[in-house]
Amino acid sequence: MDSVDSLRERDLKILNFIVGSYLRDGRPVSSKSIAGSGCVGSSPATIRNVMVKLEAIGYLSQPHASAGRIPTDQGLRQYVNNILPRKASREDKESTPIFLETMSSRRWDFGLLLSQASRVLADSSDNLGFVISPHISRVQFQTVRLVKISDENILIIVVTPFNMVLTESIRTELVISQQDLDRAGHFINDNFRGKTLESVRQTLLEELPRYRMKFEDMINKLIDIVRASVIYDEGENRIFFQGTASLLEKADRFDWDKLRHLFRGIEEKASLVRLLSELISLDRVKVLIGSEVDIPDIQDCSLVLSHYGYGNQILGSLGIIGPKRIPYDRIIPLVDRVARRLSHAIAVCSKEVSI
């Protein structure tokens, strides 16, 4: 079978025209319309032969015998691969709201910053925008404080080396006083500064005898607290969604049952967060199309995502979920731009805040 390496420049121009037309109009594209566009200097008969070749490769499909062709997921992938390098690297001149300007220079709300970023993604793309907050157990900390807020709840406060404050309330059956929590916090800060709570738990388990001889019962309680934070973090890591109404307006582009499952996943959040978190990569922008998305609830969608962070540490991911017929040439630089600006906002706020 032919592969992309066997495609001539004319073949790629025809494929790109079909994809662009389909993304814009959502209708099958005929050889006559391609010939009339002037994108290639070929007759309708020659163009039809090329379309048959592209269909054999798997880039096009024909919904009906008398209809033109539409791109498959594989055809959309080839199109995106062609535009991704230049779109992700281009310094786009389009304006994106600078959400940093709304933040106080002395007391910044990290959750509000992430919520604003998801709103920018949704409003600027007219699709579903999301931002996933960092795993509190996987972020390097400068200090940790443990506060008893009730008999069954402990508040974990983590301050990062770049002055970001993260909090998480966990449920526990431990009988523990605030004095013991203060001792546990001091122990963590004195011995593990610059580490993550996840690594603290692992170290305590590996070196339990050595630490237990010195700190006795406190170490057992500390392990339970840290374990609870890791487990809770895996299931309830927060996600910020905006733009669900925009997807409903595009319901004709989805399989309705799959769209309903997507909204159910958004309501339940925890399972969707775990799945989306696994997609974080070092790529500046990652695009997953239809069947490439190994998440049953959104296999009728396309996903464009990137990551944000501070320095060399990736904190979380953000992106857009929409129908496969999204304007990739506009969405790709948008996601890249918002990821960069969110990272910049975190860096600026961290320098201005004194903890």
Instruction: Tokens for 169, please give them.
Output: 């309330």
The helix/strand/coil state of 207 is coil
Rg (CA), the chain: 25
Confidence of residue 89 (pLDDT cuts 50, 70, 90): low
- Enter the pTM of the model: 0.79
Confidence of residue 107 (pLDDT cuts 50, 70, 90): very low
- Residue 75 Cα distances to 32, 181, 289, angstroms: 20, 57, 10
Q: Residue 330: what pLDDT?
A: 92
- Tell me: the pLDDT tens digits for 205-233? 777 666 665 555 666 677 677 776 665 55
Yes or no: say if 253 and 328 are a contact pair by the CB < 8 Å rule: no
Helix H or strand E segment including 222: helix 217-236
Decide if pLDDT at 349 tops 90. Answer: no
Q: Could you write out the DSSP letters of every residue in 53-72?
A: HHHHHTSEE-SSTTS-BEE-
Task: Give the mean pLDDT of the chain.
Answer: 80
The helix/strand/coil state of 176 is coil
Domain ranges of the chain: 4-71, 86-134+239-352, 137-236
Could you tell me what percent of the chain has a pLDDT over 90? Answer: 29
Q: What is the Cα–Cα distance from 287 to 300, expressed in whole angstroms?
A: 14
What superfamily does domain 86-134+239-352 belong to in CATH?
A: GAF domain (3.30.450.40)
- By mean pLDDT, which of 73-82, 167-176, 268-277 is the weakest? 268-277
Instruction: Tokens for 326, please give them.
Output: 């999204």
CA torsion, ordered 212, 231, 342, 113, to nearest 10 deg: -100
Higher-confidence position of 270 and 156: 156
HSE-up of 143 (CA within 13 Å, CB side)? 7
Higher-confidence position of 175 and 260: 175
Q: Residue 103: what pLDDT?
A: 43
Q: Residue 105: what pLDDT?
A: 42
Q: Residue 271: what pLDDT?
A: 60
Could you tell me what percent of the chain has a pLDDT over 70? Answer: 73
- Tell me: the pLDDT tens digits for 287-335? 999 888 776 667 778 889 999 988 888 888 899 988 888 999 999 999 9
- Residue 198 Cα distances to 64, 140, 230, 234, angstroms: 55, 10, 6, 11
Q: Determine the CATH number of domain 4-71.
A: 1.10.10.10
Decide if pLDDT at 38 tops 80. Answer: yes
Q: Residue 1: what pLDDT?
A: 45
Q: Residue 72: what pLDDT?
A: 94
Higher-confidence position of 213 and 42: 42
Q: Residue 259: what pLDDT?
A: 65
Q: What is the Cα–Cα distance from 119 to 317, expressed in whole angstroms?
A: 15
- Tell me: the pLDDT tens digits for 234-291? 544 578 888 877 777 776 666 666 666 666 666 556 666 766 766 666 678 999 998 8
Q: What is the Cα–Cα distance from 249 to 272, expressed in whole angstroms?
A: 22
Yes or no: say if 189 and 161 are a contact pair by the CB < 8 Å rule: no
The helix/strand/coil state of 261 is helix
Instruction: Tokens for 66, please give them.
Output: 């008398």
Q: Residue 338: what pLDDT?
A: 93
CATH topology of domain 137-236: Enolase-like; domain 1 (3.30.390)
Instruction: Tokens for 258, please give them.
Output: 């799959």
Q: Residue 219: what pLDDT?
A: 64
Beta strands in the chain (DSSP E): 60-61, 70-71, 128-132, 143-150, 153-159, 165-171, 239-242, 286-289, 301-310, 313-323
Q: What is the Cα–Cα distance from 263 to 281, expressed in whole angstroms?
A: 25
